[in-house]
Structure 1
């Protein structure tokens, strides 16, 4: 692709003024041709020239004034008269009006922008240049209240039935009241038959739960072999100039120590850096992380988004706010400690190209890079291997709604905005969004590309994290079971069955495990006479099947889960999964307690506890220093 005349002229100017070396200019021009972008975008993705230097030279080249919008604050009232998305997409903002002349600042000067400005704002305009960061910050400041409100309440106001703002609805309270009343009446007037019926229901639920998981693993084990090869082949053939702009959201809170790891992992992506729109999403009161991000001297494709303080203080609220300032055709969320495989974004683009038109999201796999650190990290890795490598592909193949993982889910931007993005009142916002997408007629795909994270090394920290996830599954189950007829019609019987066992089963099994463990302990201590009245022969056989075959199958599935990645050293640890289930039960009861007393509380997981983190930070920091040099 030939270099446009504007880029050639700007390059010559920078070379003549000694701002770029000949080698740097040649490299930048090659990237501009190969990537199909302007020279300015390439330079913003490199650290050869500061943002201030670049915009100063653009001001000279176009003979337009350069304005510092931090020093000369624009008219917020004037800005609010115009469409924020349009101004954000075009990076062109009206900042002042005087004597009928509108002063318009742009970070993308040139003939095309001039035509756009005159068509949009009229002929009486005065053009000036401002940096991308100044314009973005001006928009954030002008629309602070509006966008903060929308980030919290847009879904609840537009589609309240899909929002977890109301934890439980009056009809759901009535159903629970009736069920509890029936149970208490049964205990009062017919205790033995009532307990038998309850035992039958719970036993059937357990049987269905482990059989459903077995089917998912069986189906999911071979679900992606051919599609994975086709996606990888197309990803390798994609031309950089044809790739879309990709927004990367990285929500963080009080995690300055992992910033070097994060930024280096994003630079290592096999994707034109000039086509990445990277938003580091921080709470405005998190001064430590904000200062740490500033000190890294990041390329111009990185931008800090400061989220205004409001309640609830959750990751989905922060992402909703940052979404208003995103510019990509696709969007992905990565957590602070994530290390995605370099070709992940290209694989996702290829997957979207090969998928049906109603595909709105592609979920990539998650796993851990510190699996060997201790028993907990090994069990966590086995858990994720079973979940992402086998079960989610099974859900996709059976067309059952897929609860998205908390990271590495790639969205079409238009659909994300159409559905009002994430629910800030749901503490597992992505699982909820996966179910909501399916109900709205969209499809979620799963592909064979992995993002590696730091597995929790501390049991108390793990319980805090897992209890939040389970609480979110409880919220998701309550939200999407409010309209059972609508749920049945929108996702079908197989979808409802999968929703009940995959979402409901995830938290119900943790809550019910102690009941069955207690019954088993009573039977072992006091003999069968004390429980035989409540276990008719068919129920006894089914319970024995659950105890022996069910648990054995789940242990077996845990042991075979890592074989797909050839992590055979993890397999023997699968026999200790019972200890992991005990921790799950503790987390489940903590989640239930929080659902009742503090439903929207986002319990922060502390990252950086692994011994691997210090090494990662040191290596990433060294790479940053080398890049600066």
Structure 2
């Protein structure tokens, strides 16, 4: 009775203070919470960016969330609720699914007699939310609550349940989550392959190693053909009128952080450089519930209203895609972008993304930006890593996309239409290269990925063992992704078509086999010392010479592509280092064998890369200043 009396008293005071229907700005001015000049500025910004006036006031820090909520209560003649003063009734949790509550910023709060009090943070959309009630409640009263309170209550009630769904939301036949289960068919295939290899090694080792060398040579040839074709197709990466539309879309940026205490504060400063209306920007810093170190690093930082922290409940897997799936439920944007902890995006990046999505056909579901490094001069490893990234993001990916192939995505500076992302089930929570897998799944569902010349700089992993660990995770993910999509080759061919299926094999199999079979190619160096490889017995007299010249040709192609890539980047000073890549890529073979072992022993293990170990080369090195790729 006391609780109901308190609520009704609040309602009476609200209605006596101001009649319904008054403009929100006028209410704030009348109550002395806002100077008239600020109200005019907020109204102008609302018209300029297309956001609700209430959201503009909070995002631009013109008025506090509490002041805006109080004014909305007066405007709508509604009661105002506080999670601590008037705790929601947990028995009403089943009236609306938590995802529905998050999407519409509502929460069934309490019953007063036969009236359901439905709290909302967006009173302008209240009518649409009432139609979704599961019990068809006829008497519904609107109340107002902070969105932060609604989100906190939903996370408290349903967080564990939503985290479980985040792990399983990709359909089972498109996910890798059963790879650690040995089915009879898998056991038969694995056993048969291992037995065949063992028998060949014992009975005819020359044939075994000759087959290995033949596979390595074939893979090398296919890889070089793909490089040349991509180079020819990627001569320019047009920006297709990057100017943003008049009504800017809301963009949510998901930023997973796990043990990132060394770089969290730098990240916040870099995100603040983004040139996009704050009322249309929604940045979610995603923390694991057990990550006390990053939480403590952020505790002393005042976050702007357009940034918030989402904590992911603990679960059987702790992966980036699981965290992304969970946080996506709390996001508001119709466009969803991903950044990593060490990222430094260009200031105009989001406006260019909005511009391209605004003009692209609906089938374009994803835009992939260019990744670069702000510490390329740290050491030899960072220089080679920078050249490799330039090759991938400035030559190969644009070229492969131009050729019409389905491309694997990068894990950051990638933007999605939210509707398409939700249709394909989001990210596979068990795949350690969730980005590469998602790029293929989007293509299988009929969507298109485009490359956009927007640049983000990040930290090059320039320590030997951490580099191998990171690369092993990427290669393990490629292996997993290939296995998942090849479960039914006929279905893959039907959904992708023969051209994209060919591209899938070229991209993934060459990446995997080139590293696994690299030792077979290295053995040819011994030919210079007079050694005859077993395959020589199967070749004509001039066969070895042809192979050796072919290897030199492959190195020449790699050198040409590397030079072209660096020339298209801001790092032309790295051109003298391109020839040293022949010493760099053997590290990938070590990573590949580590990846193969983990694929058998712990396929879902996420080998975490620690950031914040190498500072930018100089002040301002983390601010992209690009020439056209």
What TM-score do you get using the length of structure 2 for normalisation? 0.88
Equivalent pairs counted in the alignment come to 602
How much does 1:8 deviate?
7.8
- Report the counterpart of residue 627 of structure 1 in structure 2: none
Hey, what does 2:150 align to over in structure 1?
135
Match of 1:231 in 2: 241
1:493 Cα shift?
2.9
Q: Does 1:505 align with 2:510?
A: yes
Gaps of 5+ in 1: 620-629
TM score, norm. by length of structure 1: 0.88
State the partner residue of 1:85: 99
1:618–1:294 Cα change, 3 Å: farther
Match of 2:13 in 1: none
Whether the 8 Å CA contact 1:203–1:546 is kept in 2: the answer is no
CA distance in 1, matches of 2:317, 2:81: 37
Does residue 1:145 correspond to 2:165, yes or no? no
What RMSD over aligned residues (CA atoms) do the two structures have, in Å?
Answer: 2.9
Q: Helix, strand or coil: the match of 1:578?
A: helix
Matched, 1:14 2:28: yes
8 Å Cα contact 1:523-1:531 kept in structure 2? no
Compared CA separation, residues 289 and 479, structure 1 to 2 (3 A): same
1:426 Cα deviation after fit = 0.4
Query: Residues 529 and 318 (structure 1 numbering): CA distance in 2 closer, same or farther, change over 3 Å?
Result: closer
Structure 1 segments (4+ residues) deviating >6 Å: 5-8, 613-619
Question: Do residues 104 (structure 1) and 109 (structure 2) align?
Answer: no
Q: In the TM superposition, what whole-angstrom CA distance separates every residue of 1:177-213 from its partner, at most 9, and x where no partner exists?
A: 4444444444555554554344323312211122212
| Contact 1:379/1:574 (<8 A) preserved | yes
The answer (yes or no) to whether the contact 1:559–1:575 under 8 Å persists in 2 is no
**Which residue pairs with 1:389 in the alignment?**
394
Quote how far apart the aligned CAs of 1:464 are. Answer: 1.9
Q: Hey, what's the Cα distance between the residues in 2 that align with 1:89 and 1:522?
A: 64
Among residues 483, 486, 494, which one is paired with 1:481 in the alignment? Answer: 486
Deviates more, 1:282-291 or 1:143-152: 282-291
**Distance in 2, Cα, partners of 1:194 & 1:188:** 9
Cα deviation for residue 499 of structure 1 reads: 1.6
Q: CA separation in 2, counterparts of 1:395 and 1:115?
A: 44
Deviates more, 1:459-468 or 1:610-619: 610-619
Q: Could you list the per-position Cα deviations for residues 52-105 of structure 1 after superposition, in whole angstroms to 9, with x for gaps in the alignment?
A: 343344445545443221454322341232133332222121111242221221
- Closer, same or farther: CA 529–312 of 1 in aligned 2, 3 Å: closer
Q: 1:324 Cα deviation (Å)?
A: 1.7
Q: For residue 574 of structure 1, what is the aligned residue in structure 2?
A: 578
Whether contact under 8 Å (1:559, 1:570) holds in the other structure is no
Equivalent residue, structure 1, for 2:233: 219
- Deviation track 1:526-569 (CA, whole Å, cap 9, x = no partner) reads 44488743654465245213421112221332232111124210
Matches within 5 A, 1:515-594: 515-517=520-522, 519-528=523-532, 532-533=536-537, 535-537=539-541, 539-594=543-598
The secondary structure found in structure 2 opposite 1:81 is coil
Q: Which of 408, 428, 436 lines up with 1:431 in the alignment?
A: 436
Q: Offset at 1:123?
A: 4.7
Give distance in 2, aligned partners of 1:77 and 1:268: 44
1:126/1:145 Cα in 2 relative to 1: closer, same or farther (>3 Å)?
Answer: same
CA distance in 1, matches of 2:510, 2:377: 29
| Preserved CA contact (<8 Å) 1:104 1:125 | yes
**For residue 74 of structure 1, what is the aligned residue in structure 2?**
88
1:274 aligns with 2:279: yes
Residues 282-330 of structure 1: per-residue CA shift (max 9 Å, x gap): 1122234334435432232222111010021000000111112222211
Q: Is the 8 A contact 2:206 2:535 kept in 1?
A: no
Structure with higher helix content: 1
* TM superposition shift of 1:588: 1.4
Whole-angstrom distance in 1 between the partners of 2:530 and 2:129: 83
1:278 aligned counterpart, secondary structure: strand
SS in 1 for 2:498: helix
Taking a change above 3 Å as real, the CA distance of residues 102 and 293 of structure 1, as seen in their structure-2 partners, is farther
Pick from 135, 140, 159 the counterpart of residue 125 of structure 1: 140
Q: Is the 8 A contact 1:379 1:580 kept in 2?
A: yes
Give me the whole-angstrom Cα distance separating, in 2, the residues matched to 1:136 and 1:317: 19
| Aligned match for 1:357, one of 359, 362, 366 | 362
Task: Specify the alignment match of 2:43 in structure 1.
Answer: 29
What is residue 311 of structure 1 aligned with on the other side?
A: 316
Paired residues for 1:118-267 under 5 Å = 122-155=137-170, 158-167=171-180, 170-222=184-236, 224-225=237-238, 228=239, 230-232=240-242, 235=243, 238-239=245-246, 242-267=247-272
- In structure 2, how many angstroms separate the alpha carbons of the residues matched to 1:529 and 1:203? 13
In structure 2, the CA distance between the partners of 1:545 and 1:352, relative to structure 1 (3 Å rule), is farther
- Cα deviation for residue 278 of structure 1 reads 1.9
Post-superposition Cα deviations, 1:237-259, rounded to whole Å, max 9, x if no partner, equal x22xx122212111111223433
Give the 5 Å matches for 1:339-354: 339-354=344-359
How far apart are residue 172 of structure 1 and its match? 4.9
Of residues 599-608 and 552-561 in structure 1, the stretch that sits farther from structure 2 once superposed is 552-561
Relative to structure 1, the CA distance from residue 408 to residue 115 in structure 2 (aligned partners, 3 Å threshold; closer, same or farther) is closer
